[in-house]
A and B are shown apart, each in its own frame.
Chain A
Amino acid sequence: MDMKVKKKLALKEKFALMTRGLAWETSYEPMEAVYPQMAYEGLRIHNWDAWEDPFRMTMDAYWKYQAEKERKLYAIIDAFAQNNGHLGVTDARYINALKIFLSAVPMLEYNAHRGFARLGREMRGVGPQIACQMQAIDELRHAQTQIHSLSNYNRFYNGFHDWKHMSDRVWYLSVPKSFFEDACTCGPFEFIIAISFSFEYVLTNLVFMPFISGAAYNGDLGAMTFGFSAQSDEARHMTLGLEVIKFMLEQDPANLPIIQRWIDKWTWRGVRLLTIVAMLMDYMLPKRIMSWKEAWELYFEENGMALFNDLARYGIKLPDCTELIRKEKDHLSHQAWNAFYTAGMMTNFHTWIPTPEEMDWLASKYPDSFDQYYRPRFEHYRELEKAGKRFYNTSLPQLCQVCQIPMLFTEGDDPTQIAYRQVTHQGDKYHFCSDYCRDIFTHEPDKYVEAWLPAHQIFMGNCFNPGDDPSAAGFDPKKSVLDYWHIAFGRDNMDFEGSEDQKNFAAWRDQATRN
Chain B
Amino acid sequence: MNLTSRRVGLTNVIAVNTQRIDASVAIQFKDQMREITRSGHGRFVLDLSPVTFIDSSGLGAVVGAMKQLDAQQTLELAGMNDAVRKVFELTRMNSVFTIHPDLDIALQSRAG
Tell whether A pairs with B. no
